[in-house]
Structure 1
Amino acid sequence: MKQIIIILLVSSVVFSCGSRKRYTTSSKQQTEYLRSRKFRHNKNETVNKTPETDTEVIPKVITNTSDYVKVYSSVAIEEMKLYHIPASITLAQGILESASGKGRLAIEANNHFGIKCHDWTGATVHHDDDADQECFRKYKDAKYSYRDHSLFLTERKRYSALFDLDIDDYKGWAKGLKAAGYATDRKYPDKLIALIERYELYNYDNQVTGKSTQSKYKPSKQDVHYVVKGDTLYSISRRYNISVQELQNINGLKDTNLSIGQELLVKS
């Protein structure tokens, strides 16, 4: 009798363990099943996520003209496609008019082309120019300044002859802008052309037209001076045997202010 009782007890324990094991296995399988369902659900939720793409990193702070070109070249190219104004001309004017993005109008009003108020109904800023405290347009973003520049040229009859020129004829455009009265500075065309050839801005025209990008002019290291602490236009002019006026002309400088690291062309 004792042996029978022992056998029954052992059988009961074995059966109980087997049931627990089967239950555990079943629970584990269920957990895995639920996890797999949750994973698939999450994947479906992220299907429309925009994939990361390789994009050029552009400087957040513009410290020199090369930075300016990197930041705004894509904007100038887009304007060229839409309005048939050479990107090289737009960039050169932006560099010249805004002092490479460091002028007061560019900083405080995102106005890179010195466009005055006229019939403007948006925000404004006042700045000394041909007269004291003239009214200039103010933009939320510099790209709107570029668009306004395109509209300014395309919507005024006095610039209509420019659009008869080849779209990549930057020399003709530079001279035509002066002839149409865009600027009073008689050296304005020379300044634009010098900037275009120094920074090879014509290459951005070629990106639109599909022409080969061959360098037409590239200054040697001996032709460029990088401003260091203590430099003045006068000291630089003495060093390179060039007049202050010529330094200003070939670099499109409106005053004698310099910044450390600034690139100056010291040979015509």
Structure 2
Amino acid sequence: MLGMSVAGLIRYLGGKYGLALFYSAFIAFWLILNITNLLYAVYFMMGRKAYRTSERFEAEIPVRLTDRGKQFSAVTKNISEGGFLFQLEHPAYLPDDESLEFALRSEKYRADVRGRIVYINSSGNHWLYHVQLEPIEDEQNLREYLQLVYDRTHSLPKSMNVWVTAFDDIVNNASMRLEKQRSEMRALPRIQLERFVRFEEGVSGTLVDFNFKFALIRGISEPADHLTLVPRSGIRVLLENTKKPMISPGVVLYAVTNWEELAASRAFQTLLEDWIFEHAQASKPKRARKLPAA
């Protein structure tokens, strides 16, 4: 029916000019309206891929978690029945292959839940950790968590933009369906550093990025299977060449063999924060200095 409507519109308007085209506008309008409704029907029949099983709401709830004796305090950005997203000011290693305990506290409700870190990304100077919850077996705890989710003024749209037309909806719907979905979801914080380093073996290169378990190095002066980086006294980063083929030329991916020691080291965390700050300062655009007036 959609194809027949489009063909009918083309055939009806074909070869008409001037007043004939003007007087045909009424029928053309109803043909275009019919095509629009049929497009909506086609989109409805096609359905859409569901990436979430429950609705997500914006919410700032204090959350605390403990991993290997280290405590982290954060605030959620959004929450749903299946999980939540919390924000940290500095990247921290949290295991992606085991569940963690989270304590969510608000003025009215308290819930202790378990979940896994499934995705990490950065937004500005903050790091966002996406948590997928495990089933909550305790009924009272489940009730408290559901109250945290739903006992609030929802953040869903309450009104429609009067300037958004049906044509805009159709174009946006089509573009979202054609958009290529993210194929890689990182469960470790990928920290951009772009820092020149020298290793104990006499090799030098640029440390492009780091995620506790792997380090990407560019422009290595000499090929090496094992490297040792000593950025500060008492901190040693042991690297082993993964020998994986890389898409970008001139870069080598190394595995951090002592990542567990580094993840538990407060001194290394401080060093990492200093490197992040220096990289952020170096990445800022330099302002042109004004010359004094003559």
The TM tier, using the shorter chain, reads under 0.3
Which structure ranks higher in relative contact order (CA pairs < 8 Å, sequence separation ≥ 6)?
1
Structure in which a larger fraction of residues adopt helix: 1
Q: Which has the higher strand share?
A: 2
